[in-house]
Amino acid sequence: MGRNLISGARMDKAGLKIIWSNNVMRICHANNEYFFSAFRQDMFYIVSGYPLLDSVMYTSVDLNLIHKRLCHINIPIIKDMCKNKSVKGLEKINIKINNESCIACNVGKATRTSLKKNYVYKRVTKSVLDKVHMDLWGPAPVNSLGGSKYFLSIIDDFSRKTDEFTLKSKSEVFSIFKEYLSRIQRELGRKLKSVRTDNGMEFCHKDFETFLRDLGIKIERTSFYTPELNGIAERFNRSSMEAVRTMLQDSGLQPKFWAEALHAYVHTKNRCSHKLTEGKTPMEILSGHKPSIRHCRTFGSLAYVYVPTVNRNKLQPKAKIGILVGYAVNRRGYRVWLPKERKVVESIHVKIDETKNGVKTLFGKVKHYDYAIYQLDQNLNNDSDCRAQDEKSSSPKTPSSLDISTWIRLEKPREKSKRIDVYYYPPSKERLRSINDVKMYCEKNKLEFDPNQFNFKPTTTNTRFEEKTECDNETNSDSVDEASFVNDIFQNEIYMTEIPKTFKETQISPDKEKWDEAMSEEIKLMQNRKVWDLVEPKSNMKVLGCRWVYNIKHDEKNNVKKYKSRLVAQGFKQRPGVDFTDVFAPLVNFDIIKFLFVLLVCILGWNHCQIDVKGAYLYGNLDIPIYMQQPEGFAVKGCEHYVCRLHKSIYGLHQSGRQWNIELNEILFGLGFHQNELCNGLYTKSNCILLVYVDDIVVFSKSQSDLENSILNIKIKLEITELGPVRYLLGVNFKRIGDSVYLHQNTYINKLKTRFKNLPRRRIALPLKVGCILPDRVKENEIIETELMRQIRTQQKFQNMRGDELFAMGKLQMEKELGVDEGFRLFNQITIQKNICGFKTLRSKELSSVLEARRKKIDPDDEFSDRRDSNDSVASSLP
């Protein structure tokens, strides 16, 4: 009771009857039904009560919560389960709720009205394994976390028990079925009698049929183009994908989690009754006892995974924050996605908070949650953004959430001590030195302040003095200006933006309009060049596929220049000797470019200009008929089944480069240029020289008038863009000061700063100190090649720049079996100066040193007795 005293006047006002007799007070309802009694002690009447056991054991649970826990199973099924007491855990639920109240179900399970009003469902089998239904679903629009594209569903006709298996290819179906058959027959002690499938080649090949016949299993096929004859499996595919879409939309997870959602749905589906199983669940029919759903929790909830003592120290947190994505497969526990580690873990020691959505809590609604919802249905318009903005403008202003991912955390070692200072830089580039500075900044900019998101304790030790003793070639310059380093990171934030990989991704991208404009420009260019004609496909016609390739072009200062879309044919399906013959196309060597800059620009003072040919490959003519599918998103209405007969060498074909080179030669020969026999990509004319690298052309001329005339003649034949004097070519920045030309790679280095944030920032004179002895090779199990070798491969673009860096990187590449710590130390030492963008100067005196070295046939970058432990030597060749 909620009170210690009960008023008689209140009971009389409530319509209750009170009867006193023999020191006992009896209270009855208005219809004389007995309610309770009280016994007199002294001057009070005492009411004796007792606890209700059911109220103590179970609390009332909302049906909507059970509906979400069971992966959005239909409401009528849950009500039938409550009525029949099919499982444990549904003793006290509130069933006053309609399915229409679940918005996620209305969006994810919307269907057309059924035309079969009087269809009667019945079960024809009498026991388990009398018949199983199989079907393969896929391919999925996106791969799962494990790389799967398909899933195989096997459903027992009698119990409706479902087993699903995710596959990477259709060829795995046969092996998966054999494993399933041996397991299920041993588990149930029965033999499988019949299998029903459609006419897919994964079920109809000879090995599969022979295997079933040898075991005496009856094979049932559907009629051609009649999938409803395999309706049980087809209906499961539909129901499961409806549930997956609903779960992803409700949780906000990205589509790549479709397999995790599917596993969770099947786990709960097997613990829910079916209309044909007489109130029993598939698990009860197979095992003989009622299953429990008390362990089921809402998909996508916030989860805390306990970290064992052996995996942490005494100061580290005892749990990791993640998102619930299902139930453990071969053990008790849950599956939790850890975003920071980008992996799924299984553990029974998990605390789940169903009141909080994991995606919303960890990432915020705008950045991840809405993005996942847009990808679920690509036909929906992006009007959700407008509604969200309207709600935001109409609601009162509250502190906005803090996105720590846009901040930069920097650890700066001090010069004269081992202390390390930690700074945070918000997008405004203001330096914050302490937690109080962060708090004041958040209050000033009306941001939510959470001190747990900031760590002002250094995570590394100051090894400045040790490195000074090891690296003799380090200069006195301590480090680059800190502000410029932070500025570089913010300027190159565009490289962190994910570029769409498919046409469908562009339609849900925030830059959808820019990508659509780029694709329309590409299609318009092909129409003007008359790249193809539409023809009706024939039965013996081999048709190539095509796809869109996207990129963001930048200038020499890393500013966004344009959004670029390229339609590429899938040339890997071409057959040599049938669809193409010769493929070789000559290109100019970068060493020739450097040589001519020294000779013509630095010494002779010639003028130069860079031009870019727009859609260069589209000028080449094809001499072999090739057919291609229409580009995605740009199929001609009314002719969607037509194919493109190519007349021009579209990008992606094996012979495209050669056909463009042949067309370019004819054009340049017609303009009076002659091709150099000793150097590829070099064309000469009186007082004019051309260098060609695919669609990039550099024109050198003695006078400005001759330069303009040459460019004008080329512009008449080709659609080109004048870029002015060479500033950025083949990943290298060119800068001319007086009679000198400086080459550096600021643009590419800034990309490395964003990609590899562990690069050092100190300036040194040489990439590898003189007489450096590499350590002995380590055991194979101590090698971690992926990250180190990936960073080494990124440095290969620098090999055209400096001989000393070429020597150092080559030396490190030969020692692929270095230990991880030692390999990274040497790699960082080599990349120190490039992170500062050390310039290389090309002056006239360098030309003489190169010519003298050629005459003596000695390369100054050679090293005699390179390996002091083996007296091996390293020699390099001059360009």
Stated length of the chain: 879
- Using the 3D structure, point to which of 18, 39, 57 is the last residue of a domain: 57
| Residue 516 and residue 411 share a domain | no
Q: How many domains does the chain have?
A: 6
Structure tokens at 630: 């229409």
The per-residue pLDDT for 173 is: 92
| Residue 265 and residue 133 share a domain | yes
| Residue 717 and residue 678 share a domain | yes
| Residue 216 and residue 94 share a domain | yes
The answer as to whether 559 is a domain residue is yes
Closest CA to 74 of 94, 96, 102, 111: 102
Span 289-321, pLDDT tens digits: 899 999 999 999 999 999 998 888 888 899 999
Query: Is residue 732 pLDDT above 80, yes or no?
Result: yes
Residue 98: pLDDT band by 50, 70, 90 thresholds?
Answer: low
Higher-confidence residue of 703 and 388: namely: 703
Span 622-661, pLDDT tens digits: 888 899 999 988 888 888 889 999 998 888 898 888 888 8
Span 418-438, pLDDT tens digits: 678 888 888 776 778 788 888
Give me the chain's average pLDDT, please.
76
Rounded Cα distance between 358 and 164, Å, is 26
Q: Which of 72-81, 119-128, 220-229, 525-534 has the lowest average pLDDT? A: 119-128
| Residue 608 and residue 751 share a domain | no
| Residue 702 and residue 636 share a domain | yes
- CB distance 132 to 154 below 8 Å: yes
The percent of residues in the chain predicted with pLDDT above 90, rounded, is 19
The answer as to whether 792 is a domain residue is no
Long-range contacts of 411-418 (CB under 8 A, 24+ apart): 411/458, 411/459, 411/460, 412/479, 412/482, 413/462, 413/464, 414/462, 415/464, 415/478, 417/462, 418/461, 418/462, 418/465
| Residue 321 and residue 242 share a domain | no
| DSSP run (H or E) holding 241 | helix 231-251
| Residue 275 and residue 323 share a domain | no
> 873 to each of 77, 827, 864, 866, 870, how far by Cα in Å?
78, 21, 5, 5, 9
Using H for helix, E for strand and C for coil, what is the string for 132-150? EEEEEECCCCCCCCCCCCE
| Identity of the residue numbered 616 | A
The per-residue pLDDT for 614 is: 87
Query: Is residue 579 pLDDT above 60, yes or no?
Result: yes
Query: Is residue 804 pLDDT above 80, yes or no?
Result: no
The per-residue pLDDT for 49 is: 67
The per-residue pLDDT for 78 is: 85
- CB distance 873 to 866 below 8 Å: yes
Mean pLDDT over 718-736 rounds to 83
The per-residue pLDDT for 122 is: 66
Most confident of 86-100, 163-177, 431-445, 837-851: 163-177
| DSSP code per residue over 803-864 | HHHHHHHHHHHH-TT--HHHHHHHHHHHHHHHHHT--EEE-HHHHHHHHHHHHHT--TT-EE
| Residue 349 and residue 320 share a domain | yes
The answer as to whether 771 is a domain residue is no
| Residue 259 and residue 311 share a domain | no
The answer as to whether 862 is a domain residue is no
| Residue 444 and residue 307 share a domain | no
Rounded Cα distance between 86 and 95, Å, is 16
The answer as to whether 704 is a domain residue is yes
The per-residue pLDDT for 753 is: 64
Span 234-264, pLDDT tens digits: 889 999 999 999 999 889 898 999 999 999 9
The percent of residues in the chain predicted with pLDDT above 70, rounded, is 71
Give the dihedral sign, CA 68/73/79/85.
Answer: negative
Closest CA to 69 of 98, 100, 102: 102
- CB distance 319 to 304 below 8 Å: yes
The answer as to whether 488 is a domain residue is no
Query: Is residue 594 pLDDT above 50, yes or no?
Result: yes
The answer as to whether 780 is a domain residue is no
Range of the domain at 453: 402-457
| Residue 8 and residue 34 share a domain | yes
| Identity of the residue numbered 797 | K
Rounded Cα distance between 585 and 663, Å, is 11
Closest CA to 618 of 532, 498, 726, 533: 532
Give the dihedral sign, CA 445/451/454/458.
Answer: positive
Span 389-423, pLDDT tens digits: 333 333 344 556 666 666 777 777 776 666 788 88
- Looking at the whole model, is its pTM more than 0.85? no
Span 174-230, pLDDT tens digits: 999 999 999 999 999 999 999 999 988 889 888 899 999 999 999 998 887 777 788
The answer as to whether 860 is a domain residue is no
Q: Which of 534-538, 598-602, 872-876 has the lowest average pLDDT? A: 872-876
**CATH number of the domain within which 220 lies:** 3.30.420.10
Residue 842: pLDDT band by 50, 70, 90 thresholds?
Answer: very low
Structure tokens at 104: 């996620």
From the centroid of its chain, how far is CA 434? 34
- Using the 3D structure, point to which of 312, 345, 366 is the last residue of a domain: 366
Structure tokens at 405: 């991912």
